[in-house]
């Protein structure tokens, strides 16, 4: 991470070319082929940063209608005088579909965007995934820059290059790896993020702490209750949550871009988390399901002798303090949950492999591809509260 020489922290000067405008003090995380710029207020200068990374002829900004209403115009103006245009879709997971992909690509083609364009996503993880997939396929692939606006998209979806859409057979089953040319993160946009969405992001931030950084986990466990209060997005602790949250994901993705090994650790909490989402028919949102999944999987790790005793309680306490649930609702049947873990992409050859912690700050299973096979009987016991 390096400090870039700064100019003013205010809005860009008008009537100047994009190259000569000043960028607020920014922290960059450098990835192979792109960097992630994190800075409060950077939204006003995002166009300059994108243009420096991808000198496209035109920029197609893909955003959901909700985020477009809040930030669309500001991002558009940051490109001025470069040609940029907004393309919107109705937001929400139910619109992360081939239909939305088709309509967006048709709209972008109809507007005359050629091979020399670049796509810019502005929004949560649904938008980064969908816009990334549009970019991966449009004219056989054009650059994509991400401007994530949800905490989850900042610390998770916008880095790593996974793009795609959902199909009736399951989530994210049609997609591509398409690395961004630039990721621009302005924590101040989190001010308007609904609190439930913010909590979902905290679940992933804490997950990153469990995976790789115990002191960060503890600092976040203490700070998160304040971060959820009005003004929390502007504080130093939020900047740290975002910056360290992203850095941990980046470290792992750098070591394993295509999920052939250590990238599997990012699935901690997600095997049972996805099962909970599925069995609840998505009544339990992703962040809450992952929070419950982390607690269950940490207990599973303790019971199978993988994790130090106390790991589960430490994780459960931090999640509870963040306002996240830590127990499975009684109406979800254990049999249905276990059946759902078998349908998950992480089930191979009849056994279900879990990414399990050794303790807060370190994952187990290095010698077995960073996942550990677990018997259904142990999962039953944990689901029964033992």
Distance between CA atoms of residues 285 and 369, nearest Å? 29
83 vs 92, which CB is nearer to ligand NAD? 92
Task: Give the helix ranges, DSSP H, for the chain.
Answer: 46-53, 65-67, 73-79, 98-110, 125-137, 151-152, 195-212, 214-227, 236-255, 270-279, 286-303, 311-321, 334-343, 376-383
| Count of positions (residues) in the chain | 386
Q: What is the CA radius of gyration of the chain?
A: 21
Distance between CA atoms of residues 183 and 259, nearest Å? 21
- 193 part of the interface to ligand NAD, by CB under 6 A: yes
Phi then psi dihedrals of residue 99, to 5 deg: -60, -45
Number of residues that bind ligand NAD (CB under 6 A): 30
Distance between CA atoms of residues 278 and 332, nearest Å? 10
Nearest in space to 237 (alpha carbons), one of 265, 216, 257: 216
- The interface with ligand NAD within residues 236-275 (CB under 6 A) comprises none
Q: Which of 244, 267, 297, 302 is catalytic?
A: 267
* Maximum CA extent, the chain: 67
- 185 part of the interface to ligand NAD, by CB under 6 A: no
Supply 103's token pair. Answer: 């309509």
- 81 part of the interface to ligand NAD, by CB under 6 A: no
127 vs 371, which CB is nearer to ligand NAD? 127
Q: Which of 21, 146, 270, 359 is catalytic?
A: 270
286 is catalytic: yes
Distance between CA atoms of residues 339 and 135, nearest Å? 35
CB of 286 vs ligand NAD, minimal distance in Å: 6
3-state secondary structure (DSSP) of residue 53: helix
According to CB under 6 A, which one of 26, 53, 62, 189 is a site residue for ligand NAD? 189
Choose the binding region for ligand NAD from 46-54, 78-86, 188-196, 347-355 (rule: CB under 6 A).
Answer: 188-196
Residue 4 CB coordination number (10 Å): 14
- 93 part of the interface to ligand NAD, by CB under 6 A: yes
CB of 22 vs ligand NAD, minimal distance in Å: 24
Q: How many Cα atoms are found within 13 Å in the side-chain-facing hemisphere of 233?
A: 22
- 45 part of the interface to ligand NAD, by CB under 6 A: no
Name the residue with the smallest CB distance to ligand NAD. Answer: 125
197 is catalytic: no
Choose the binding region for ligand NAD from 52-60, 88-96, 101-109, 314-322 (rule: CB under 6 A).
Answer: 88-96
CB of 308 vs ligand NAD, minimal distance in Å: 28
140 is catalytic: yes
Nearest in space to 8 (alpha carbons), one of 21, 17, 81: 21
Distance between CA atoms of residues 241 and 194, nearest Å? 17
- 44 part of the interface to ligand NAD, by CB under 6 A: no
- The interface with ligand NAD within residues 143-182 (CB under 6 A) comprises 149-150, 152-153, 156-157, 160, 162, 171-172
258 is catalytic: no
Catalytic residues: 140, 162, 204, 249, 259, 263, 267, 270, 274, 286
Which residues lie near ligand NAD (CB under 6 A)?
64, 66-67, 70, 91-93, 96, 123-127, 129, 149-150, 152-153, 156-157, 160, 162, 171-172, 189-190, 192-193, 197, 200
């Amino acid at each position: 991470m390096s400090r870039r020489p700064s100019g003013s922290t205010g809005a860009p000067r008008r009537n100047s070319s994009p190259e000569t405008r000043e960028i607020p003090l920014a922290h960059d995380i450098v990835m192979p082929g792109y960097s992630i710029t994190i800075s409060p207020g950077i939204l006003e200068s995002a166009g300059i940063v994108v243009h420096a990374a991808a000198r496209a002829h035109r920029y197609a900004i893909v955003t959901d209608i909700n985020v477009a209403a809040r930030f669309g115009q500001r991002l558009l103006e940051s490109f001025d005088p470069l040609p940029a245009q907004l393309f919107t879709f109705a937001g929400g997971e139910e619109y992360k579909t081939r239909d939305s992909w088709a309509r967006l690509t048709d709209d972008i083609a109809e507007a005359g965007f050629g091979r020399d364009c670049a796509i810019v996503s502005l929004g949560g993880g649904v938008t980064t995934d969908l816009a990334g997939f549009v970019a991966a396929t449009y004219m056989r692939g054009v650059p994509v820059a991400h401007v994530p606006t949800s905490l989850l998209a900042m610390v998770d979806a916008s880095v790593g290059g996974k793009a795609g859409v959902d199909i009736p057979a399951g989530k994210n089953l049609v997609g591509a790896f398409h690395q961004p040319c630039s990721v621009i993160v302005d924590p101040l946009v989190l001010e308007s993020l609904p609190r439930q969405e913010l909590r979902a992001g905290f679940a992933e931030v804490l997950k990153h702490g469990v995976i790789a950084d115990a002191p960060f986990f503890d600092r976040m466990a203490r700070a998160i209750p304040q971060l959820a209060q009005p003004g929390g997005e502007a504080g130093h602790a939020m900047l740290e949550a975002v910056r360290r949250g992203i850095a941990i994901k980046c470290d792992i993705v750098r070591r394993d871009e295509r999920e052939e090994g250590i990238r599997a650790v990012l699935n901690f909490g997600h095997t049972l988390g996805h099962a909970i989402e599925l069995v609840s028919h998505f009544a339990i949102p992703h962040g809450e399901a992952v929070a419950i999944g982390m607690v269950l999987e940490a207990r599973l790790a303790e019971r199978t002798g993988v994790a130090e005793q106390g790991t589960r309680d430490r994780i459960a306490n931090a999640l509870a303090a963040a306002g996240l649930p830590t127990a499975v609702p009684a109406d979800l049947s254990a049999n249905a949950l276990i059946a759902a873990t078998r349908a998950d992409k992480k089930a191979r050859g009849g056994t279900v492999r879990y990414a399990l912690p050794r303790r807060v700050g370190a994952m187990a299973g290095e010698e077995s591809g960073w996942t550990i096979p677990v018997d259904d009987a142990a999962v039953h016991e944990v689901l029964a509260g033992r």
